[in-house]
Copies of this chain bind each other. A is one copy, B any other.
Amino acid sequence: MANIHEVAKQAGVSSATVSRVLNNTSSVTEKTRQKVEQAIKELNYEPSMLGRNLRNSESRLLLVLIPNFSNPYYTEIINGIEDFSVERGYNILLCETDSNPTRENTFFNMVKNKLADGIISMDPTINMAKLQELAKKHSIVLCSEYDELERIPYVAIDNEAAAYKVMKHLIRLGHENIALINSDEKFLYARQRRKGYERALKEFDLPLRKEYIYNTNNLDFQGGAQAMRKLLQLDEIPTAAFAVSDTLAIGALKELNVKGMDVPDAFALVGFDNISFSNMTNPTLTTVAQPMYQMGIAAANMLIDQLQGKPVDSVMLEHELIIRESTLN
């Protein structure tokens, strides 16, 4: 309620001095510092961020764009972003785009409006052209999904290598008919994972069968279940599948359970992301772990560095194949 001038009056100093005490930006006598701190306590003063932000023309707010809250894939990344940002005195605003251009525009406007300082986008459906445009004047970092043109710095993993590793694992277990449950290939990661899938087939002299590749635009459980339903209707049913996300894999697993197919004996299954549920299914799910938390840290670090005018470079982090029951023996 009280403002800086009242505090100054109470302490018998100028508002400039109070400000100096608040930010210890230049030296202040111990005696005056005490007077000021006393006054602050007496008046129960809390500096207004509104005034400060206007003066400094920054909001210390970072936007984190995700397609929707309910996707557990993002949670650990967000934790990383949050921890790092808070550490540096920034807050994050989680923005659900719902892949809706209007929504997206709202968020872009927030940074134009100075309501937010920068953006970390994890939304693969985002309008890259507009984002590039925004990036000319504002700080932006891509996380997980990125732009091949590479004007905007990003943090990601090597999707192709990860997919290749998954396939190699399945092939070594003796599988020759391996399906790919992929998302829409308008997404870069989808194209990259498919590349890894195909490279492995080629290297091990296995045929590439078009009917074993299923692209879904529904990335939730239902999408996975539906994909598996289709695969199980094929003349020659595959003996294994690689789903590009755990949610898809869990949906597929549900369908396999329904159809009475034993996993892993009759059918092996691999997911991607290592969401916490992947260790709770029956059987537990083999999956690829991305260093989520680290990715979050890195993205936040890059964005804040960028805001402070430091040069930043894109980074590629390591992934790990986690073998569980769904691909045992």
Task: Give chain A's interface residues, CB within 8 Å of chain B.
Answer: 1, 46-51, 53-54, 57, 59, 61, 69-70, 72, 75-76, 78-79, 82, 86, 91-94, 96, 106, 109-110, 112-115, 137, 220-221, 250-251, 253-254, 257, 276-277, 279-282
Tell me if A50 and B96 are in contact (CB < 8 A): no
Distance between Cα atoms of A279 and B251 in the complex (Å): 10
Distance between Cα atoms of A329 and B49 in the complex (Å): 60
**Chain B nearest CB: distance from A109 CB in Å?**
7
Tell me if A49 and B282 are in contact (CB < 8 A): no
Distance between Cα atoms of A137 and B276 in the complex (Å): 40
A79 in complex: contacting residue of B49, B50, B69, B112, CB < 8 Å: B69
Given A69-B78, A109-B46, A115-B50; A277-B276 close (CB under 8 Å): no
Tell me if A250 and B49 are in contact (CB < 8 A): no
A70 in complex: contacting residue of B57, B59, B72, B137, CB < 8 Å: B72
Distance between Cα atoms of A214 and B78 in the complex (Å): 32
How many chain copies? 2
From A91, which residue of chain B is reached at the shortest CB distance?
B93
Distance between Cα atoms of A251 and B1 in the complex (Å): 49
**Chain B nearest CB: distance from A101 CB in Å?**
15
A220 in complex: contacting residue of B46, B254, B276, CB < 8 Å: B276
Q: Which residues from chain B contact A281 at a C-beta distance below 8 Å? A: 281-282
Distance between Cα atoms of A48 and B93 in the complex (Å): 18
Given A48-B113, A54-B50, A115-B50; A254-B282 close (CB under 8 Å): yes
Distance between Cα atoms of A112 and B76 in the complex (Å): 29
